[in-house]
Chains A and B, each alone.
Chain A
Amino acid sequence: MDLRYSDADEKFRKELRAWLEDTVPGHGTPPPYSDWDARRTYDTGWQRKLFDAGYAGINWPKEYGGRDASLTEQLVYYEEIARAKAPYIGVNFVGMLHGGPTVITEGTDAQKSAHIPRILKGEEVWCQGFSEPVAGSDLAALQCRADLDGDHYVVTGHKIWTSFAQCADFCELLVRTDPNVAKHGGISWLIMPMDLDGIDIRPLPTLMGEGEFSEVFLESVRIPVANRVGAENDGWRVTNVTLRFERGTAFASEMYHLQEILAGMVDLAKRLTRDDANAWEDRTLRREVGHLAAQLDALWAMVKLSVSETAKTGMPGVGGSAIKLFYSGVYQQIGELGMRLLGRAALSREDLDDLPCQQSIGRAMQSLSLTIAAGTSQIQRNIIGERILGLPKDQKPAAAAAPKPQATGAR
């Protein structure tokens, strides 16, 4: 039960910290959310700097250009990235955390050499085409249809929640290649170039009115069979490789960053007046802040425990569900606390009287997505209940039937 980082870890921290201190200020401030071209330039520019300094693909194997850092070095990395307020992974998210690792694990040599170095250098941006209007938590119910025509699949369907679609070069796409077998059995995993004919991207504004994600309509899009990753109809297994990456340490930096957000709220409370007194004198508020800080400390200790276990066993286990469930809930409580600190200033999304309205409201609203995206909290509870506690499944045979093929993806 040792929490002390090794000398090698601390040496790595020192070098990384020095590099971040030199590099972060020069990278400028993030562009507005709506400016996709600028966001791509900003995020991929940062990725390139990471690459040139040897910090890209911290968890990627060396033979694919990654750093192959030990898991404890990765923790140090996430701590330092958060501490330095370095740019978020941004548009590189899908390529670095989903598509890239999946191609590395399941792709052909040609697919690897075509994509892996470019993703790592920030030259190639990916998006994710998994969810559909009919396939959310029940992802395997997806209907996007792919018919074989010579050496191409002809793909027609409707994808949703596609982040970065506007600026992506490729899409990791799940399609139904066999509608006549049980639903998990007829799915394939394709790499779809985003410049093909028949792709229609329609932004779907979030509840903040921002174009974070889009709907993507596919009408007879011809994708080469050579772009399939894994065997035909084996896409569900390939997908699970990807999803397991998502439940690992992907959010470690954001978790660590919450500590600073909470500290910022303490500073804010100290300069606020409530009921003719300093807001920080309110014992209820102090206890709430203490409660959240205790939970954040416990969360980070959970990550350390999980990382220590993963270091010995290989891939992250289902315990990641507990971390994700807890993290998303704590994040939302912090978001809500920020709103309550604002009081009536929360009626304005623009900063008033030096109060961080824009940031606090943005955080509170954005936090609502965390208990929905990447497996809702309800799905996480099912996973914990069924896979860890061994409770009986809720439903079996009816849900296993293959969905009816969809005639067209257009509305």
Chain B
Amino acid sequence: MDFRVTEDQEALREGLRTFCDGRVPIETLRELEQKPELDRALWGELAEMGVFALRLPEDEGGVGLGMSDAAIAFIELGRRLVPGPLVWSQLAAGLVDGAATGQTVVGGLDLISHPDAPYVIEYFESLDVVLLLQPDGIYRVDPDVLSAKPVATPLDPLTPVHHVASLLDGQRIGGADDAAKLHLEGATLTAALMLGIAESTQELATEYAKSREQFGRAIAGFQTIKHILADMFVRQEVARAAVYAAGATLDDPEVGDVVRAVSAAKATAGEGAMRNSRDCIQVHGGMGYTWEVPAHYYLKRTWVLENVFGTVGYHEERIADLLASD
């Protein structure tokens, strides 16, 4: 057992971090605000980086890596709030032609853990294919046949959404087991994005607290602030351990209970992202409550990610059910 991030994974992380630093700085995100269409050029570059083909076998044109590698990549995308239906498109690689190369943009609805109306689909305007994840299988739907209305004011200014009045069955492209597997993978990738948010909000708040002076000194020196930041760090590390464990368990199911590991990851990363985003706003004081400081983007994205592939409560209950059946 060597649970550390491998050298190859470090290289993957560095590559994506450098890419995101150059390609999706916060100024770029501001320009994308409220734009309904996806930046297809960025999407193509993400595909070239292997973000979607990462887990596809090499003989199918993929990179042939596992879930733990994908988690490393998605932590980085989450850190920078990279927009787009990242999780669905990666899940679709191998299921939908063109998803792996970024030519086909795939979105979806997880009806396994969020079965109830209203149905809201992210990035609908840009989707070539919609996947519906039902308990009994995976369904492929042409977005043109869905009657969807754009929502004028989405919660996350970087996540445009449509409201879909009613759903259609579509073409069944996978059974119940496939749907369950996709749900586990989707929850893990989403947890990784949320871990990225937990990390970057901690770093943003720490950096601000070191530079912001009140009462003649940096506020980071006050224990009230220091302890908020320390708790943010702990939440991030707790989530990291759980997300890594989910990835490693999906890659090697003999080392643990896959469902439990994934639920622990989504629950702890969900809590880490939510509480850290809130604390990040608090540490920024009045500026945290403005549109000027990017802290609000993180909290809003967290609400988007909390409501896909199972809320914290959904996964907590799932773990409890597993415990009770032991």
Contacts and interface: CB of A to CB of B under 8 A. Distances in A.
B26 interface: no
Nearest to A290: B316
B321 interface: yes
Given A1-B4, A298-B239, A319-B237, A391 B226 contact: yes
Given A270-B324, A389-B206, A384 B3 contact: no
B7 to A, nearest CB: 12
B320 interface: yes
Nearest to A377: B227
Given A2-B1, A4-B1, A297-B245, A266 B315 contact: no
A378 B323 contact: no
Interface stretch (A156-164, A187-195, A307-315): A307-315
Given A2-B252, A385-B226, A299 B238 contact: yes
Interface centre among A5, A266, A301, by most B CB within 10 Å? A301
A38 interface: no
A381 B226 contact: yes
A293 B320 contact: yes
A20 B237 CA distance: 34
Contact of B244 (A301, A322, A388): A301
B105 to A, nearest CB: 29
B91 to A, nearest CB: 20
Interface residues of A, number: 54
Contacts of A293: 260, 264, 319-320, 323
Nearest to B323: A266
B54 interface: no
Contacts of A366: none
Interface in A364-409: 378, 380-382, 384-386, 388-394
Interface size grouping (class) on chain B:
35 or more
A230 B319 CA distance: 50
Contacts, number: 173
A326 B238 contact: yes
Contacts of B315: 290, 294
B248 interface: yes
Nearest to B206: A389
B245 A3 contact: yes
Nearest to B226: A385
Contact of B234 (A72, A309, A326): A326
A305 B260 CA distance: 18
B146 interface: no
A305 B234 contact: no
A312 B319 CA distance: 33
Interface stretch (B173-181, B217-225, B284-292): B217-225
B153 to A, nearest CB: 31
Interface in B281-324: 312-313, 315-321, 323-324
A288 to B, nearest CB: 8
A287 interface: yes
A123 interface: no
B264 to A, nearest CB: 4
B206 A1 contact: no
- Tell me whether chain A's interface is mostly helix, strand or loop, or mixed: helix
B28 interface: no
A53 B326 CA distance: 33
Nearest to B235: A326
A266 B261 CA distance: 19
Interface string B2-27: 11111001000000000000000000
B149 to A, nearest CB: 34
B244 A305 contact: yes
Main SS class of interface, B:
helix
A62 interface: no
Contacts of B233: 322, 384, 388-389
Contacts of B68: 1
A305 B220 contact: no
A238 interface: no
B238 A298 contact: yes
A130 to B, nearest CB: 24
Interface in B169-220: 206, 209-210, 217-218, 220
Interface string A257-276: 00000110010001000000
A3 B264 contact: no
A286 B268 CA distance: 16
A286 B241 CA distance: 23
B242 to A, nearest CB: 4
A336 interface: no
A386 B225 CA distance: 12
A280, A378, A385 — most chain B CB neighbours (10 Å) = A385
B320 A389 contact: no
A301 B226 contact: no
A325 B238 CA distance: 11
A154 interface: no
Contacts of B256: 3
Contacts of B263: 290, 294
A294 B229 contact: no
A320 to B, nearest CB: 11
The 9 A-B pairs with the shortest beta carbon distances in the complex, nearest first, are A290-B316, A301-B241, A381-B230, A385-B226, A290-B320, A290-B319, A392-B221, A286-B320, A384-B230
Given A295-B238, A299-B238, 13 more contacts: A1-B4, A9-B1, A286-B317, A293-B319, A293-B320, A298-B241, A302-B237, A305-B4, A305-B240, A322-B234, A381-B223, A381-B230, A391-B210
27 contacts: A1-B68, A1-B248, A2-B1, A2-B3, A2-B252, A3-B255, A270-B324, A286-B316, A289-B316, A290-B323, A293-B260, A294-B263, A294-B264, A294-B315, A297-B264, A298-B241, A299-B238, A301-B3, A307-B3, A380-B230, A381-B227, A381-B231, A388-B233, A389-B206, A391-B220, A391-B226, A391-B229
